[in-house]
Structure formats: structure tokens, C-alpha cells
Amino acid sequence: MRRGLINLGKRQISVPGGGSTLTHHQNLTNYAPKFIPYGLTHIPPADTINCSEHSMKLAYFDCFSGISGDMTLGALVDAGVPLEHLREQLLGLEVPGWQISSEKVWKNGMSSTYVKVKTEDQSKHRSLSAILEILQKSELSTRVREQASAIFRKLGEAEATVHDVPIEKIHFHEVGAVDAIVDIVGACIGFEALGIEQFACSPLNVGGGTAKMAHGVLPVPAPATAKLLQGKPTYSNGVQKELVTPTGAAIVATLCNSFGPQPPMSVSAIGYGAGTADLEGQPNVVRIMIGDATEKTVAGFDEEIAVIEANLDDMNPQIYGYFQEKALAAGALDVYTTPVQMKKNRPGILLTLLCKPQNTASLMDLIFTETTTFGARTYPAQRRVLPRELVRVQTQYGAVNVKISRVNGHIRHASPEFEDCKKLAEEKHVPLHQVMDEAKRNFDKL
């Protein structure tokens, strides 16, 4: 087959019908190298988003009408990924019995692309391990194979939690069918073709009502979808329809670094992907905006948290420390008090807890059990968390871990771990501040 080159932004990919040739599975994305200072023992953080000085290709999912796998594929084709390139690369899956086609459609006056995957597959039940084996044995590029595997693992973890079974026993139903596999793998092929290195997503309109699924009639969003989007900004504008599918939720939950308004970017391509249903009063499409980030992005990830507050003016002060320990052990992210002036000119305390949304109810119960308040209030908030790393430095007293954070590759904060310093101070019978000061000095010398 003859291949030609098409220009997608600053990169080129091979497609049928031209005169030049490119390597079949060329990796189109440059990854930012991880920065590890010399002389430090690096302990990787659980959540690290690499920052880079170069201009990063960014994709922003605008999910004002939800998102699904086929809608994502349609948006990528609409944004410039050739259908023939998708078809050719998907042959590397070595899964027979499917056809892919696209057409321009109108959704409430908006032009969009609908991608249809037609299959002869009769086996809609596949285990996670079976799908991962299909991907592992495929001829897909390394990046596509790893990205698709990560999405399926994320989905498997959500299903395992919802059904309270080990992840190795999870069998996908609708998502295990060939068309769903093609949707997810095809989306990853499209991301690679466009050279997308970073992903962001708007708040997601999840819809409402109920939907008929393999397990019966379930509320919208479906349990797996709700789990995948836990901690992400979601809402419903009242449409009684499933707008976010488990496949769509898994894609954004796995790939997106941030959720919220569109980040600063220079948009070079926009794609609209159509869903199958026609909705009253709004187009059933997802919009993907693709371009270069116009400024350096701050490392980290955004997440939704809950804030719980209670005013106290009649509690024994000895209880505060006890309550703080109990709250932190029960899942609170932070607990603190603020002096306030209350009614009848009484000095009081504003008790504040930060927690994950799913821990709100249990921590509210703890407040009512352990404090004297008759009422507490809660509200959602957004926070950005910088990725954290631990580096080990040597002091004359022993090794100390130093917690650091970076923004755009530069260290912003460096703090010796208190418990490490406390342990060494007690063992060596020296003042605590001496251990902390030396750990900081030795870190600064590196």
C-alpha cells in the first residue's frame, strides 16, 4: 500500500494514497524528561504531571452534552484525523469482524461528525485480562497500546469497586464488545496522530433519569460512570438521558490532568463528535479543541473537595486535639480552628475540615458525636495540588527525606520531613531544629 504524508500541526503521519513513506508505528509524541537532581535519591510521587518548557499540544474536551467513545472518535475525525488512518492503524488490533465509517450529520443545527463502528461480534462479555492480552499482542504503537490499557484498567477498577469483586474477576459487558474496544483504541490512535501531549476537560453534563444496561435499569449516571467521575466537576441540566457513558468517563478520567474552564491555549483545530440520540433543545455533541498551550502550565491536578464548618463556643478546649486526631484518621485532609466572635459576645472557635466528597457524611457524623455543636454546614470547593517528590539527603545524624514540589521544572518548596527529623533528634539526643536546619542546608548544596 502506498502511503502519503499529511501535516497535522507540527507533525506528520502516514496515510494511504500518497507517494512518500513513513515508518508504520512512528511515535509522534515527545515526552518531557523527568528532572532528577544529581546526588538525590528520587522517590516517585503517586500523582506527578510533568512540566515542560516547550510548547505542549493540548486537547480540551468540552462536554456540555456529555461524552462517549463514539463521540470522541467523531470529534477527532472532525478535527482532522483521516478515517483511513484510523482504519489502517486499527487493523493492528488483529480483532476481526468490524467496519468503521463516518458521515457528517446535523445535531440541532450544529454540523458534526458521526463515526459508526459496525461489528459482527457476538461475544459482549470479555474480562479485563482478555482485553489487555488483545492489546499486548497487537501491532499498535507502544503509546497507543499503553494509553488504551490504562483506560481499560481505570474502567476495570471502577467496575470492581461498584460490584465489590476483585479486579481480576471483572467481566465487561457493553464495554467488552468489539465496537467499544475499537472506540477506545481508535481514540488513542487519534490522540497520537494529532500529537496531543496534555488533556483537560470541562465540567461534565451527565444527564439524568435511568438507562437500560446489562445489569438492568440503572440510574444515570451509571454506577461505574459515577465512580470514574468521583471528585470531578459534574452537573445535570435536566436532560433525562445518559449523556456520559462509562467509556467516555474512562477516557477523560484517565487522560485529563485538570477539570474546569478552558485553559489558556492557541486553538488550531476544533472537532465536533455526534452521539446517536437527538436531544431536545441542545446538540448531542462533544467538542474537542486542540492547540498549543499559550503559557507554561502549573504542575499539579485539580480536584473537588468538601469543606465542613461548625461554630463552637461551649466545648472543653482539651477535646480539640483529640477530635483532630480522630478526624484525620477518619479521612479528613486537614483540620483547623479559627478564633471568632459569636453571639452574646462570646469568644468561639470556627472548626473547619477539608475532605474528599465521599467522606463528608462520615465526618459530619464524627463532628456531631465528638463535639458540642448542634449544626454543621458543608459546601464544595476546588483545590489544586502540586505533585510532590521525596528526595533523601544525608546529615551527620542520619538520612532525612525532604519533600519538594516543582512548578515548570523549578523547585518551589523544600521541607524536611518532620517525623524523620524528630526520630533522629531523639536517637542522637540533639535539638530538633539542628537536624532540620542541617537537612535543609545539605539539600540546598545539591
Using one digit for the tens of pLDDT, what is the confidence trace for 76-118? 999 999 999 999 999 998 888 889 999 999 999 899 999 999 8
Compute the distance between CA of residue 117 and CA of residue 413 in angstroms, rounded to an integer.
Answer: 50
Is 274 found in the same domain as 192?
A: yes
CATH number, domain containing residue 362: 3.30.70.1380
Angle at which helix 178-193 crosses helix 246-255, to 10 degrees, equals 30
Q: Quick one: pLDDT band at residue 211, thresholds 50, 70, 90?
A: confident
Is 306 found in the same domain as 425?
A: no
User: Residues 194, 80: contact at Cβ < 8 Å?
Assistant: yes
* Domain boundary, last residue among 293, 312, 341: 293
CATH number, domain containing residue 409: 3.10.20.300
Is 280 found in the same domain as 213?
A: yes
> Is 192 within a domain?
yes
Burial environment of residue 425 by CB neighbours within 10 A (0 to 12, 13 to 18, 19 or more): middle
Identity of the amino acid at 199: F
Burial environment of residue 189 by CB neighbours within 10 A (0 to 12, 13 to 18, 19 or more): buried
> Is 50 within a domain?
no
Q: Looking at the whole model, is its pTM more than 0.75?
A: no
Q: Could you tell me the residue range of the domain that residue 435 belongs to?
A: 388-445
Is 370 found in the same domain as 222?
A: no
Q: Quick one: pLDDT band at residue 214, thresholds 50, 70, 90?
A: low
> Is 111 within a domain?
yes
Closest to 18 in 3D by CA, of 29, 7, 32: 7
Q: Quick one: pLDDT band at residue 178, thresholds 50, 70, 90?
A: confident
Could you tell me which residue, 412 or 104, shows the higher pLDDT? Answer: 104
Phi, psi of 237, deg, nearest 5 = -95, 10
Is 288 found in the same domain as 436?
A: no
3-state secondary structure of 175: helix
Is 111 found in the same domain as 133?
A: yes
Is 271 found in the same domain as 354?
A: no
* Domain boundary, last residue among 260, 293, 326: 293
Is 145 found in the same domain as 132?
A: yes
* Domain boundary, last residue among 258, 293, 328: 293
Mean pLDDT of 105-133: 85
Per DSSP, 384 falls in state: E
Q: Quick one: pLDDT band at residue 173, thresholds 50, 70, 90?
A: low
> Is 198 within a domain?
yes
Closest to 200 in 3D by CA, of 247, 240, 256, 155: 256
> Is 406 within a domain?
yes
Lowest mean pLDDT among 40-54, 66-80, 103-117: 40-54
Is 208 found in the same domain as 65?
A: yes
**Residue 190 pLDDT greater than 70, yes or no:** yes
Compute the distance between CA of residue 241 and CA of residue 206 in angstroms, rounded to an integer.
Answer: 8
Is 308 found in the same domain as 284?
A: no
The model's pLDDT over 305-332, given as tens digits with 9 standing for 90+, comes to 999 999 999 999 999 999 999 999 999 9
Residue 90: CB partners within 8 Å, gap ≥ 6?
A: 98, 100, 182, 185, 186, 189
User: Residues 266, 291: contact at Cβ < 8 Å?
Assistant: yes
> Is 6 within a domain?
no
